[in-house]
Amino acid sequence: MRAVICRSYGPPEDLVVDEISAPVPAPGELLVRVHSAAVNFPDVLLIAGKYQVRIPTPFTPGSEFAGEVVATGEGTAFGPGARVFGSVMTGAFAEMAVLHSASAAPIPDGIDFAEAAAFGVTYRTAYHALRSIAQVKERDWVVILGAGGGVGLAAVDLAVALNTRVLAAASSPEKLEVCRRRGAEATIDYDREDLKLRIRELTDGNARVIVDPVGGRYSEPALRALGRGGTFVTLGYAAGTIPAIPLNLVLLKGITIRGMEIRTFAGDYPADAARDTAELSQMFAEGKIRPHIGARFPLAEAAAALRHVAERRAIGKVIIDVA
């Protein structure tokens, strides 16, 4: 089978597409013919050796995909022919991938493989952040940084679904137009406007929650604009730098800073994770949430897909079409 291979840590352009043996499912595992795989920013970090966990090379990157079950190990909940989607640490950018049955979900009727692949990681990250970490309430002002990206646009969709007032902040008019079309009440182009001042103006000083998957130079001005007693949720650092926050801001404003990592959330908060997953799955199955796919690449151009995400050019999700 064809697969993308990271032979040594480096930029996306160092990846190769090669023929390798198909994996064999162990007990409890599914062998899936991959139709679509989604690109996430942590994939960029993994191939560079800069993620929290280092994967020994060589490996096949890619953490979420959707496809059709072709073989199973013993004790699985799905049979051959089942349409499933799910996430793994690595291995999705290939014609075949192995997925543990417990990590797989059936693709709802009316949802195609690309939408299913685009749904899992970013929407779970955003929903856990909003529902469990920030505990948003109806009509709260929720400010979302990086609102045009995968996690950011998922957070816009979900915050709208939770009946909050959404202020989307992103780096281009094109990204903000998509946010408005998906229900954002207000927007800020933070590369051209004063982020702190505009958050205060647009929310009348009542920003209750800030969701930040970007980091870098955007975090501190957003934090300074957060209303008293508000919650700041840090999810990642797509801007490339981890911000240093003056702790006196926390003291003076009585705010809470929370972190959330999708890799460990279910283990740390199993009851919250189970509830959130059930609610999110129902919204997806009912068609209330549909991912926005901003770009698609063939498997042979996986490096270009990762570069597209690395340079923050993505609007919504980036998909690799495999089959």
pLDDT digits (tens, 9 = 90+) for 12-33: 999 999 999 999 999 999 999 9
Confidence at residue 239, expressed as pLDDT on a 0 to 100 scale: 86
What does the pLDDT average to over 269-281? 95
Residues 70 and 200 in one domain: no
pTM: 0.91
Confidence at residue 52, expressed as pLDDT on a 0 to 100 scale: 84
Residues 126 and 257 in one domain: yes
Confidence at residue 263, expressed as pLDDT on a 0 to 100 scale: 87
The domain in which residue 94 lies consists of: 2-111+290-321
Residues 146 and 224 in one domain: yes
What does the pLDDT average to over 159-177? 97
Residues 102 and 163 in one domain: no
Count the alpha carbons within 13 Å of 261 in the hemisphere toward its beta carbon.
9
Confidence at residue 233, expressed as pLDDT on a 0 to 100 scale: 98
Question: CB–CB of 3/76 below 8 Å?
Answer: no
Position 307 pLDDT exceeds 90: yes
Residues 8 and 58 in one domain: yes
Position 45 pLDDT exceeds 90: yes
Question: CB–CB of 282/145 below 8 Å?
Answer: no
Q: What is the tally of structural domains in the chain?
A: 2
Residue 164 exposed, middle or buried by CB count within 10 Å (0-12, 13-18, 19+): buried
In a domain, 200, yes or no: yes
Residues 147 and 225 in one domain: yes
Last residue of a domain, one of 248, 265, 282: 265
Q: Could you tell me what percent of the chain has a pLDDT over 70?
A: 100
**CATH number, position 151:** 3.40.50.720
Confidence at residue 312, expressed as pLDDT on a 0 to 100 scale: 86
What does the pLDDT average to over 262-279? 94
Residues 246 and 203 in one domain: yes
Residues 153 and 248 in one domain: yes
Position 153 pLDDT exceeds 90: yes
DSSP strands (E only) in the chain: 2-5, 16-19, 29-39, 64-72, 83-87, 96-100, 104-106, 141-144, 165-170, 186-189, 207-212, 231-234, 256-259, 293-298, 317-321
Last residue of a domain, one of 265, 280, 309: 265
pLDDT tens per residue, range 175-229: 999 999 999 999 999 999 999 999 999 999 999 999 999 999 999 999 999 999 9
Q: 3-state DSSP call for residue 119? A: helix
Confidence at residue 238, expressed as pLDDT on a 0 to 100 scale: 87
Confidence at residue 104, expressed as pLDDT on a 0 to 100 scale: 94
Instruction: Give the pLDDT band (50/70/90) at residue 77.
Output: confident
pLDDT tens per residue, range 129-148: 999 999 999 999 999 999 99
In a domain, 77, yes or no: yes
Q: 3-state DSSP call for residue 126? A: helix
Residues 250 and 133 in one domain: yes
How far apart CA 126 and CA 138 sit, in angstroms, is: 16
In a domain, 173, yes or no: yes
Instruction: Give the pLDDT band (50/70/90) at residue 322.
Output: very high
Residues 200 and 250 in one domain: yes
